[in-house]
Amino acid sequence: MSVGRVILAGAGPGDPELITLKLLCALQSADIILSDRLVHPDICRLHARASVPVVLVGKQGYHPGSVPQVDITQRMLDEAMAGKTVLRLKGGDLAFFSNVLDELEALVKMNIPYELIPGITAASGASALAGIPLTGRGFARSVQFIAFHPSTEDSEYDRLACDLENVTKVLYMGAARLISVLAALRERGVDGSMPVAVVEKATTTAQRVHVSTMEEAPAQWAGLDFGSPALVIIGRVVSLHHRFDWYEPTEAGTTPYPALPSV
């Protein structure tokens, strides 16, 4: 039997219409789909062939119901070795803070043909739908995308605090520990008036945007549990939100994402 192939694709930030035409074609040619949790379920429901299995290989932080990466990679290899066209769907862009490298290395090692399809990362989606242009002229000269882990060290806080007057910082996976992050930045001299935003479920019909400042956020957001997934934006550009807040979500309080199994 001849070997199949793997298409690794970014499925966009949330809104199921924010996918590429290339992904649309891939959805129609796949024999099996392995999908991350942060891929909007409508993407497969509406565009994949009805007979095609969609396997949820979700991961959520350190959630015990997460599927281990080795199992995901093995399943992907097994299906391709069995001659199938495997579509591996990841939230946002396929390469931003994902395990794409593990999967690529395994594919190369096994000599399995593959293709990469980029997607719109959460920062771009959140930026557009929250009306916060990430490098708005006069407000920021560059932007950094940063992933937050429980093991984040002091030196990383130093880097995060650095040059916030010119550089917008977007934190992936950082909302749960935001108050302590803000305290660490204040200790490093970041101005109390520096605005900060949290965008929950960006680009979905349940999107919520919270805006505050370094100084006021700890009191304003105390006890608030930001809905997953959430993205943090720190920088002067955040002040543009109140002028360009055009998007009106219609389903506040809901979530389009499937829950992981409880174990």
Provide the binding-site residues for ligand SAH, judged by CB under 6 A.
Answer: 13-14, 38, 90-93, 96-98, 121-122, 126, 172-173, 199, 201-203, 229-231
Q: To the nearest 5 percent, what fractions of the chain are helix, strand and coil? A: 30, 20, 50
Of 18, 253, 251, which is closest to residue 128 (Cα–Cα)? 18
Cβ atoms of residues 203 and 15 within 8 Å: yes
Nearer to ligand SAH, 34 or 230 (CB): 230
Measured CA to CA, the distance from residue 38 to residue 12 in angstroms comes to 9
Nearer to ligand SAH, 84 or 202 (CB): 202
Taking the complex as a whole, the smallest distance from the CB of residue 86 to ligand SAH amounts, in Å, to 18
| Catalytic residue check, 78 | no
Q: Which of 15, 59, 84, 93 is catalytic?
A: 59
Taking the complex as a whole, the smallest distance from the CB of residue 35 to ligand SAH amounts, in Å, to 13
3-state secondary structure of 230: strand
Q: Which of 15, 36, 90, 201 is catalytic?
A: 36
| Catalytic residue check, 59 | yes
Report CA-CA distances (Å) from 237 to 85, 143, 212, 240. Answer: 43, 10, 12, 6
Nearer to ligand SAH, 10 or 195 (CB): 10
Taking the complex as a whole, the smallest distance from the CB of residue 187 to ligand SAH amounts, in Å, to 23
Nearer to ligand SAH, 84 or 90 (CB): 90
Nearer to ligand SAH, 12 or 84 (CB): 12
Report CA-CA distances (Å) from 60 to 159, 184, 227, 245, 261. Answer: 26, 25, 13, 29, 11
The DSSP secondary structure of 175-227, one letter per residue, reads GGGHHHHHHHHHHTT--TT-EEEEEESTTSTT-EEEEEETTTHHHHTTT--PP
Taking the complex as a whole, the smallest distance from the CB of residue 82 to ligand SAH amounts, in Å, to 27
Taking the complex as a whole, the smallest distance from the CB of residue 61 to ligand SAH amounts, in Å, to 7
Of 65, 232, 39, which is closest to residue 134 (Cα–Cα)? 232
Catalytically active residues are 36, 59
